[in-house]
């Protein structure tokens, strides 16, 4: 089988962005469209990206030092999806090839900051357009924003959910409030531009924790998600969360057939 290498036109086709003639313009409308279409077309899939046999760690398939062609083939062209670093690295490259002024920046979830103590647990993209900066993130399982957020102090509303960026001790904290809910922290980040090698620190700490974990412990926990037109569907283990028009519903899946059906819906799409 011939493997596909990174190709911007193929990437755009895979996420369903084929409108009009010629190359897409690197403007805000295009950025919004690419961001949402990517989240709807390509799932977050922890199983394909984070569970690596010990024999493969440090041998060219690590999260940071990825082969972008091989990653593109599996994650985008074949539609298997991936984790934060895979998805963000590929989308960052797409944006650059389309003509956007894009840079990689680092962040950390609340859980990640506690476990790893680093500002580069999560990878995000910062896009500058006409003097304004936009937060781009297609590599977070969610729930989170479907379209880029302007880096500013105002409350921004997307599909019934409110978002706000708040400064705190040198970081920007992304806060989120679903319809009828309360504000809570999604993650924090800085605007410091970084190279991919910066995430090697995080990967080293991940490998340390994996090495210290008994074989099979926690290995069955799947985390996957996919966006829908007005929200997201997220499966973490047996916990199934949906967000539709800003309204969240969560339940625990007991029936194995239902679990497998919903997981397949997220991983292969579309979500019902």
CA distance 204 to 137: 23
Instruction: Give me the residue label for tokens 């922890």.
Output: 46
Residue 152, CB-side half-sphere exposure with 13 Å CA sphere: 11
Q: Kindly report the backbone phi and psi dihedral angles of residue 138, in degrees, each rounded to the nearest multiple of 5, phi listed first.
A: -110, 10
Distances in Å between the Cα of 182 and the Cα atoms of 24, 112, 230 are: 38, 22, 19
Interaxial angle between packed helices 28-41 and 84-98, expressed in degrees from 0 to 180 and rounded to the nearest 10: 150
Q: Are 147 and 158 in contact (CB under 8 A)?
A: yes
Burial of 49 per CB tally in 10 Å (0-12, 13-18, 19+): buried
Contacts of 208 (CB under 8 A, 6+ apart): none
CA distance 249 to 172: 28
Active site residues: 84, 122, 137
Q: How far is CA 92 from the centre of its chain?
A: 12
């Amino acid at each position: 089988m011939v493997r596909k290498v990174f190709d911007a036109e193929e990437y755009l086709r895979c996420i369903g962005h084929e409108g009009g003639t010629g190359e897409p313009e690197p403007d805000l409308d295009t950025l919004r469209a690419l961001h949402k279409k990517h989240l709807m077309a390509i799932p977050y899939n922890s199983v394909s990206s984070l569970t690596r046999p010990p024999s493969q760690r440090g041998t060219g398939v690590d999260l940071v030092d990825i082969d972008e062609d091989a990653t593109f083939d599996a994650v985008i062209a074949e539609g298997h999806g991936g984790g934060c670093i895979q998805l963000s690295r590929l989308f960052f490259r797409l944006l650059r090839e389309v003509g956007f002024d894009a840079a990689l920046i680092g962040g950390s979830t609340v859980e990640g900051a506690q476990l790893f103590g680093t500002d580069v647990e999560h990878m995000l993209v910062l896009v500058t357009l006409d003097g304004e900066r936009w937060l781009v993130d297609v590599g977070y399982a969610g729930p989170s924003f479907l379209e880029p957020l302007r880096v500013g102090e105002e409350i921004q509303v997307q599909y019934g959910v409110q978002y706000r960026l708040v400064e705190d001790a040198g970081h920007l904290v992304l806060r989120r409030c679903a319809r009828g809910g309360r504000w809570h922290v999604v993650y924090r980040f800085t605007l410091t531009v970084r190279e991919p090698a910066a995430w090697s620190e995080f990967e080293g700490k991940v490998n340390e924790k994996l090495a210290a974990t008994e074989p099979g412990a926690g290995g069955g926990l799947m985390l996957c998600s996919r966006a829908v037109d007005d929200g997201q569907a997220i499966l973490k283990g047996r916990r199934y969360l949906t967000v539709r028009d800003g309204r969240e519903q969560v339940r625990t899946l007991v029936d194995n057939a239902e679990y497998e059906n919903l997981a397949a819906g997220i991983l292969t799409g579309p979500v019902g």
